[in-house]
Amino acid sequence: MTIVEREIVITNSQGLHARPAAVLVEALKSYEARVHIEVGSKRADARSIRSVLALGGSTGDVARVTAEGDDASEVVARIEAIL
């Protein structure tokens, strides 16, 4: 099993608000990896829209993404494209 961690600067103009969070959660449905996102001291299960919204990530914030699974590299690259 592969574990991939990456720090990603949120460049989406809306940050991690409703629409981008929904796009993120929907995109993860096609992957098997377990994924967590941390912004500041908050940590979220990336498959839970409520959890992602609670992060309150804004444009310019750094998100630490951790994925665990056979498709971890692919899922982190997908998240980076969304953020």
Q: Please report the pLDDT score of residue 1 as a whole number.
A: 86
Q: Please report the pLDDT score of residue 2 as a whole number.
A: 97
Name all domains of the chain by residue range, CATH numbers in brackets: 3-82 (3.30.1340.10)
The candidate with the shortest Cα–Cα distance to 12, out of 77, 45, 60, is: 60
In the numeric block, the tokens 């940050």 are attached to: 15
Specify the DSSP element, H or E, that contains 38.
Answer: strand 34-39
Give me the tens of pLDDT residue by residue for the chain, a chain 83 residues long.
Answer: 899 999 999 999 999 999 999 999 999 999 999 999 999 999 999 999 999 999 999 999 999 999 999 999 999 999 999 99
Catalytic residues: 17
Predicted TM-score of the model (pTM): 0.93
